[in-house]
Amino acid sequence: MKIDKAEVIVTSPGRNYVTLRITSDTGVTGLGDATLNGRELSVVSYLRDHVCPQLIGKDASRITDLWEYLYKGAYWRRGPVTMTAIAAVDCALWDILGKATERPVHELLGGAVRDGVLVYGHASGRTLDDLLRDVGHYLGAGYRAVRVQAAIPGLDSTYGIHHDGTGHTYEPADGRYPTENVWDTAAYLRFAPEMMAAVRETYGYDFHLLHDVHHRLTPREAAKLGKSLEPFDLFWIEDATPAEDQRAFELVRSHTVTPLAVGEIFNSIWDCHELISRRLVDYIRCSVSHAGGITHLRRIFDLAALYGVRTGSHGAGDLSPVSLASALQLDIAVPNFGIQEYMGHLSPAEEVFMTHYRFEDGYLKPGDRPGLGVEIDEDAAARYPYEPRSLPINRLRDGTMHDW
């Protein structure tokens, strides 16, 4: 089974998504998500100009060899653009193999080791009352795990506060330039325990509570946050401190037993191996579409299993339904699975991507369609052309650039 065609489809049904579609000479198609939020067109060029021509005529079933061919063949290793492009090829090839053998991908990975994939939803609010209402909405809908984010009093805009009950935060329509937010760490550190106390006082402890710090704290501040949140028994705090400095996690770890999660901006096993092998984190959160696809993420998960670290894949709405479908195939098949982020996708994404996973009682089920279980409607995709968008940035009150 040879690769006959490799095409890149760019569409914006609510958000920008880049999809790679590979077709075999036997007429089987496979999809891979190649979306890198805010830098989408760099991956489009990487694929169209460099990768797609090299795929033609290759054996579509030699997935690992093609992974190595693209990784080692590029010479310039790792990095989000390269690894997103390789991930898209990898997922599309798994999709083809599944369809050609009439098996869902998780069966090719060894089969399901659980009945459903535990997911967490995103509750948020501009006020604590709004947040509490939103947590109630998720619990009422059957979620067993909820991430909570609320606007910090005194700050106009805070990461993770969504609009119109959609679960999505928006970048501006003309996104060539990022919006600028103001950040105040002291106000945040005072507010975070108050927020968690309100959630636990209202809804109790019978569900998992998560929180994303989004890389904004120094190691000492992260340690202080972790300690202050211990009474509220969190499932994790995510990206408590920037992970370029991996030793920083030693300081955080030695001061708090609040579980730590990291990894959404990692793109290879090399970004993870120190944090995992030194047991400095509890959950590894790389996404299937930014960390080299199913083949590479599975290696990361296997490494994590050796050290008792569990998985918690990134699943924001800026990753397409193809990404979520791919993540679920892996989640259901790995023994050390922890949790999967589930933000859903804005309408009209459902016109473009036909999915077969379903939410049931707090779990996502990948379904048993051959391959990944997701299709794309190219005519619908063409109705929603690409719109330039940037992620926001953060500045401290004195104007200093800070982590967003």
Q: Which of 316, 352, 364, 376 binds ligand KDG (CB under 6 A)?
A: 316
The token pair that represents 321 in the structure block: 């339904």
Supply the minimum distance, in Å, between the C-beta of residue 236 and ligand KDG.
Answer: 11
Active-site residue, 214 included: yes
Which residues, numbered 331-360, are part of the site for ligand KDG (CB under 6 A)?
341
Task: Write the interaction track for ligand KDG spanning residues 187-226; mark x where CB under 6 A is met and - where it is not.
Answer: -------------------------x-x------------
Active-site residue, 159 included: yes
Q: At 344, phi and psi to the nearest 5?
A: 75, 180
Q: Which of 40, 221, 282, 318 binds ligand KDG (CB under 6 A)?
A: 318
Supply the minimum distance, in Å, between the C-beta of residue 318 and ligand KDG.
Answer: 4
- Residue 134 three-state SS: helix
Which residues, numbered 291-310, are part of the site for ligand KDG (CB under 6 A)?
none
What is the residue-wise DSSP string for 183-201? E-HHHHHHHHHHHHHHHHH
> Cβ contacts of residue 76 below 8 Å, gap of 6+?
82
Quick one: which H or E segment has residue 401? strand 401-402
CB-facing half-sphere around the CA of 383: CA atoms within 13 A: 12
CB 360 within 8 A of CB 313: no
Neighbours of 172 (CB within 10 A): 12
Out of 162, 214, 290, 345, the active site residue is: 214
How many residues bind ligand KDG (CB under 6 A)? The answer is 9
Whole-angstrom Cα distance, residue 23 to residue 35?
A: 19
Interacting stretch for ligand KDG, rule CB under 6 A, among 252-260, 311-319, 330-338, 374-382? 311-319
- Residue 69 three-state SS: helix
The DSSP secondary-structure symbol of 384 reads: S
Contact partner, 37, from Mg ion, ligand KDG, none, Cβ < 5-8 Å per class: ligand KDG
Task: Write the interaction track for ligand KDG spanning residues 47-86; mark x where CB under 6 A is met and - where it is not.
Answer: ----------------------------------------
> Cβ contacts of residue 327 below 8 Å, gap of 6+?
287, 288, 313, 315, 340
Supply the minimum distance, in Å, between the C-beta of residue 29 and Mg ion.
Answer: 32
Interacting stretch for Mg ion, rule CB under 5 A, among 160-168, 222-230, 257-265, 289-297? 257-265
The token pair that represents 159 in the structure block: 């990461």
CA 343, 173, 355, 91 dihedral sign is negative
Supply the minimum distance, in Å, between the C-beta of residue 112 and ligand KDG.
Answer: 25
**Single-letter amino acid, residue 251:** L
Supply the minimum distance, in Å, between the C-beta of residue 78 and ligand KDG.
Answer: 19
Whole-angstrom Cα distance, residue 379 to residue 284?
A: 37
Whole-angstrom Cα distance, residue 120 to residue 135?
A: 11
Q: Which of 95, 171, 264, 331 binds ligand KDG (CB under 6 A)?
A: 264
Which residues, numbered 227-256, are part of the site for ligand KDG (CB under 6 A)?
none
Q: Which of 212, 318, 331, 375 binds Mg ion (CB under 5 A)?
A: 212
Binding site for ligand KDG (CB under 6 A): 37, 212, 214, 264, 314, 316, 318, 341, 391
Q: List, by residue number, the catalytic residues.
A: 159, 214
Question: Which residues make up the interface to Mg ion (CB under 5 A)?
Answer: 212, 264
